[in-house]
């Protein structure tokens, strides 16, 4: 029997009444809410891609496992190569423009994957998808941090994560609609192609609406290329991020493939399960601001990620698909409870005029090792070493989480400094002026 860590019960104990829970989300500025809501449909497409692409390319489009790994790697390399330049452009000339470009490219790539089996063209669409991710990644977090302000930043990122997980769940669930499409006389390949094109077109339709978000402040007169003011914070965060990225890449982007190799289930079965994982995660992401308020951003991150790592280590030894999927579900929502917390932390610690570049740097230093290890994960699975990706990831996670604690345990965010100053002022006012004796 799996023993549930005591922190899980502490986590559940933080759940307040409905009114108190949602009070954390009151007062998020309207422009921040608009940006969050507009991200919903594109996140369906992202969830769809990351749930099914590792299955679709080899099983439906006929690519070899090695070619599939190369395509996924190219997506990551493109993001890495373009993130920092895009971050500079976003800070100087507008983050909203990058949002538009990002969703446009990502949507078109999804349609492109459905239209060809030619490996060369698939690599072109992989580059297009990586371009879309890069443009989106450098802009959405930076713009949201600006629109939300310091006092509502963590709540805004938590709401973005909640809707993102719901959207990702929908992206996973709709994969099973290939079965419904086959009842209309389509074979499995035709049903997949129709679904990929439909999701791509849906995401594409939302692109013009990003111009409803008002452009934020730009730094066109800025002379520095790299974020010098935030360099110390970024260097520390990158060390942690790379460790987690390498570990996650070994299995997270290729779980549909892993379930097929380990238990012989198709994406029509694993897709909805992964979608359910996203949906349940969305339900607990609302707790992130409460966890941050109770434990602090850094401690809450370490507690959730450490608990998640325990469940991750148990997945490959599961005797059945049902048990493995259940453990993976717990692992996902515990790990991703910390996602809005780490985003809020880095956006709070870096200089506001360097947030686009900071987003680009953190995105690229995440995605390159993540893509490289995804290729390694596919090779290991293809070679029959099905459990090894999880065990390697466990070691990397333990190292990364430990480093995160030691590097950021003393970090103070702007809102915490403000609260401390306010408390000092209130304390001074209660004591009254000092009387000379």
Residue 391, pLDDT > 70, answer: yes
- Rounded Cα–Cα distance for residues 341 and 401 (Å): 14
- Lowest-pLDDT range, 124-128, 220-224, 320-324? 220-224
Q: How many CA atoms lie within 13 A of 406 on its CB side?
A: 8
Which domains are assigned to the chain? 28-215+228-422 (1.20.1250.20)
* Cα 376 from Cα 368, distance rounded (Å): 13
Structure tokens at 361: 């740097």
CB contact at 8 A, 286 and 162: yes
Q: Alpha carbon of 355 to those of 104, 216, 228, 384: distances in Å? A: 22, 12, 12, 43
Give me the helix-helix angle, 355-382 and 255-263, nearest 10°. 20
The band of 103, judged by pLDDT with boundaries at 50, 70 and 90, is: very high
pLDDT of residue 392 exceeding 70: yes
CA quadruple 162, 164, 165, 169: dihedral positive or negative?
A: positive
d(CA 24, CA 46): 27
The residue among 233, 344, 248, 350 whose CA lies nearest residue 288 is: 344
Q: For residue range 169-205, list pLDDT tens digits in order.
A: 788 778 888 889 999 989 989 999 999 999 999 999 9
The most confident of 24-33, 43-52, 310-319, 326-335, by mean pLDDT: 310-319
Percent of the chain residues topping a pLDDT of 90: 33
* DSSP letters for 172-199: HHGGGHHHHHHTTT--HHHHHHHHHHHH
Confidence of residue 41 (pLDDT cuts 50, 70, 90): very high
What pLDDT shows up at residue 22? 59
Check if the beta carbon of residue 103 is closer than 8 Å to that of residue 209: no
Residue tagged 């609609």 (tokens): 177
pLDDT at 427: 45
Q: Is the CB of residue 255 less than 8 Å from the CB of residue 389? A: no
pTM above 0.85, yes or no: no
């Amino acid at each position: 029997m799996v023993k549930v860590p005591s922190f899980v019960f502490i986590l559940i104990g933080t759940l307040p009444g409905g009114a108190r829970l949602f009070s954390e989300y009151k007062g998020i500025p309207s422009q921040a809410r608009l940006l969050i809501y507009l991200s919903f449909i594109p996140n369906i497409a992202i969830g769809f891609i990351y749930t099914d692409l590792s299955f679709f390319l080899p099983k439906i489009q006929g690519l070899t496992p090695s070619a599939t790994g190369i395509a996924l790697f190219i997506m990551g390399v493109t993001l890495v190569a373009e993130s920092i330049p895009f971050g500079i452009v976003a800070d100087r000339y507008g983050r909203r423009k990058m949002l538009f470009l990002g969703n446009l490219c990502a949507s078109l790539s999804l349609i492109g994957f459905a239209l060809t089996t030619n490996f060369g063209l698939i690599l072109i669409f992989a580059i297009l998808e990586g371009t879309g991710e890069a443009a989106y990644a450098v802009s959405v977090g930076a713009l949201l941090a600006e629109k939300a302000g310091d006092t509502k930043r963590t709540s805004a990122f938590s709401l973005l994560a909640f809707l993102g997980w719901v959207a990702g769940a929908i992206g996973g669930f709709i994969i099973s609609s290939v079965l419904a499409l086959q009842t209309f006389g389509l074979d499995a390949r035709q049903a997949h192609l129709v679904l990929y094109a439909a999701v791509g077109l849906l995401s594409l339709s939302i692109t013009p609406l990003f111009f409803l978000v008002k452009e934020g402040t730009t730094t066109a007169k800025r002379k520095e290329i790299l974020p010098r003011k935030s360099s110390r914070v970024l260097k520390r965060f990158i060390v942690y991020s790379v460790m987690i990225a390498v570990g996650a890449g070994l299995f997270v982007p290729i779980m549909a493939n892993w379930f097929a190799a380990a238990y012989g289930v198709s994406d029509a079965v694993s897709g909805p399960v992964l979608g359910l994982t996203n949906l349940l995660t969305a339900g607990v992401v609302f707790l992130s601001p409460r966890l941050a308020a109770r434990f602090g951003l850094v401690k809450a991150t370490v507690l959730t990620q450490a608990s998640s790592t325990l469940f991750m280590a148990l997945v490959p030894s599961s005797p059945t698909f049902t048990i493995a999927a259940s453990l993976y579900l717990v692992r996902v929502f515990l790990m991703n409870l910390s996602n809005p917390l780490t985003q809020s932390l880095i956006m709070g610690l870096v200089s506001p005029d360097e947030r686009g570049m900071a987003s680009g740097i953190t995105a690229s230093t995440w995605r390159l090792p993540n893509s490289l290890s995804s290729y390694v994960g596919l090779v290991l699975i293809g070679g029959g070493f099905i459990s090894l990706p999880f065990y390697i990831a466990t070691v990397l996670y333990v190292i990364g989480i430990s480093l995160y604690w030691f590097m950021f345990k003393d970090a103070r965010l702007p809102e915490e400094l403000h609260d401390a100053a306010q408390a000092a002022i209130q304390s001074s006012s209660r004591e009254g002026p000092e009387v000379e004796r």
